[in-house]
Amino acid sequence: MRIDLTDTTSSKINSALMDARRASGSTAAGMVLTMVIVVDEGSAYDALKSANDASREHPSRILAVIKRAGRSPRARAGARLDAEILVGSAAGSGETVVLRLHGELTSHAQSVVLPLLLPDAPVVVWWPENAPLNPAQDPLGALAQRRITDAVTAESPVGQLAVRADSYTPGDTDLAWTRITGWRSMLAAALDQKPVRITGAVVEGESYNPSVELLGLWLHDRLHVPVQRIVTDGPGITAVRLRTKDGDIVLDRPDGLMGTLSIAGAPDRIVALKRRDTAELIAEELRRLDEDAIYAAAVRTSVEKLTDEEAAVESKAATAPVAEAVAQAAGEVAEEDTEAATKPAAKKTAAKKKAGA
């Protein structure tokens, strides 16, 4: 069922939702949370599709907030709320309300959303792109127990991790972190299977992918070892190598579908490491709404802790001339010491000859 409301109010939207529920034969809500999606018109379709798919696992009321400030001064001075209500199969396992805020109303989105929240149910806010610098201080983010961003959609995906670290508040998370759940699980299971001392790690993946950086930061934070970053063509993360004295533990996924886990002294195993779509990532995030302390520790670890392949080569090239200079200086000092040692002996010999004459 679809209901369009033009120039409406939050109370009228609530009434329309109740009428739609009665018409569909369901008087009870049966929803476990409210998800607020802050999105623009161009990305609304994909975001709503992912949220609706995720709602089949977590029945929820989905509120999509689309801000249309207007281009002309007259349009910006006005205020209007339009709503599109979807109930039934078109809305997954819950209800969907698309809120289009016009003019001055775009600055007061929280006043429109607040009356539409499910009572006594947690609130999750998701920014598919253009997330605020501090989600917890955003007017809509302040309503939520969980705030979801996605660093990969930023202009500088890797640089966005520093922004997320500076503004981190318990309840924040990022889909770049959710994408590496499979990798973290497989690596932890490998170390449980063969407990060894890790001396270093290597993470290989795309240069602009923040998930690659987060995986390296997680390894550095948990294992307290140096982590090298190697750039590949992808897709996504392609391999992780854990250095041990008995040989490398390697988790390799060159095609983005299946991975191979290699442990010294054991046969290789094929593992499922398929790159998941956004709906699966959102569904995973909705399974827990408390603070993710492991994510907090990883994202707060400076990216400068990682070393890349080029830096290692440059460092070796830079230290080579220094080593040569030190060796040359040591040789010159040794020659001077030899000369200094032979000069007194020569003087004594000459003195003896002179005395004998």
Summarize pLDDT for 1-42 with one digit per residue, the tens: 889 999 999 999 999 988 887 887 665 567 889 999 999 999
Q: Which 3 state secondary structure label does DSSP give 141?
A: helix
300-332: pLDDT as tens digits: 998 887 876 544 433 333 333 333 433 443 444
112-149: pLDDT as tens digits: 999 999 998 999 999 999 999 999 999 999 999 999 99
CA distance 118 to 208: 38
300 burial class (0-12, 13-18, 19+ CB within 10 angstroms)?
A: middle
Token representation of residue 95:
């209800």
| Phi, psi (rounded to 5 degrees) for 272 | -85, 120
Q: What is the largest CA-CA distance in the chain?
A: 134
- Predicted confidence band of residue 77 (pLDDT cuts 50, 70, 90): low
Local structure of residue 54 (DSSP, 8 states): H
Q: Is the pLDDT of residue 297 over 90?
A: yes
Residue 310, pLDDT score: 42
CA distance 241 to 203: 7
The better pLDDT of the pair 256, 339 is held by 256
Q: What are the distances in angstroms from CA 222 to CA 2, 115, 211, 299?
A: 49, 43, 16, 12
> Model pTM?
0.82
205-245: pLDDT as tens digits: 998 899 999 999 999 999 999 999 999 998 999 999 999 99
CB 187 within 8 A of CB 305: no
